[in-house]
Amino acid sequence: MRAYYFDNIPGDQRLPHDSSRPVSTDTLNAIGLLHWQIPLDGNEAKIDQVAAERGYKNRDTISVTKEGLGELYETKIKGFFEEHMHEDEEIRYILEGSGFFDVREHPTDAWIRIHVLEGDLLVLPAGIYHRFTLDTENKIKALRLFKDEPKWVPHNRSAATDSNSYRLDYLNSIGVGA
């Protein structure tokens, strides 16, 4: 995993958009992100350990490819790239391929781009504004973990999400309050 500030230059969202300004692990931790690098071979015990420690009870696998999604591919990619939050943590363990998670730094509101690769396990806290896109490989397969029943409900950024209780809890958890 590599994290840096997004350059905000218009163009293909799947390009790196690297501003050459790296983001430290301390900065990621300060906004509530967690990350592990777990090799794909023999990973199950470590994944199970993280799942047990964080209370994840369910899991499934998601594959995002042109071949797998067919005509829905471009629509799905555009939807994933809409700025949104979830009322649950978003947990992804990358099994194949790669992509970018962009998260909002608070209080600056700057985008931080996180390039995830095979073996990366990333946890985005509930209430953080973020978006996702593939990189130019155009494919990713990830294990998704859930605390309860699998669900993935995006709440696009708006005045309503700014006052959503999960958003407010997130802001309090990183020490900025509402």
Read off the CATH number of the domain in which 43 is found: 2.60.120.10
In a domain, 145, yes or no: yes
Taking only the tens place, the pLDDT of each residue in 135-153 is 999 999 999 999 887 777 8
In a domain, 178, yes or no: no
Do the annotations mark residue 115 as ligand-binding? no
Q: Give me 120's structure tokens.
A: 């990366």
Taking only the tens place, the pLDDT of each residue in 35-67 is 999 999 877 899 999 999 999 999 999 999 999
In a domain, 84, yes or no: yes
Nearest of 178, 16, 36 to residue 111 by alpha carbon? 16
Burial class of residue 94 in the structure, from the number of CB atoms within 10 Å of its CB (0-12 exposed, 13-18 middle, 19+ buried): buried
In a domain, 45, yes or no: yes
Taking only the tens place, the pLDDT of each residue in 96-134 is 999 999 999 988 999 999 999 999 999 999 999 999 999
Do the annotations mark residue 17 as ligand-binding? no
Do the annotations mark residue 118 as ligand-binding? no
Q: How far apart are the first and last CA of the chain?
A: 30
In a domain, 139, yes or no: yes
φ, ψ dihedrals at 27, nearest 5°: -65, -40
Please tell me what DSSP assigns to residue 94.
Answer: E
Report pTM.
Answer: 0.94
In a domain, 40, yes or no: yes
Beta-carbon contacts of 137 under 8 Å, excluding residues fewer than 6 positions away, are 97, 98
* Measured CA angle at 119 (ends 32, 8), to 5 deg: 55
Do the annotations mark residue 86 as ligand-binding? yes
Q: In which domain, by residue range, is 116 found? A: 2-171
In a domain, 177, yes or no: no
> Can you tell me the mean pLDDT for 32-37?
96
pLDDT at position 178 is 54
d(CA 118, CA 61): 14
Q: Which of the four pLDDT bands, split at 50, 70 and 90, describes residue 162?
A: very high
Q: Is 119 left (phi over 0), alpha (psi -120 to 50) or beta?
A: left
Alpha helices in 11-158 (DSSP H): 25-30, 44-54, 66-69, 73-80
Number of domains in the chain: 1
In a domain, 151, yes or no: yes
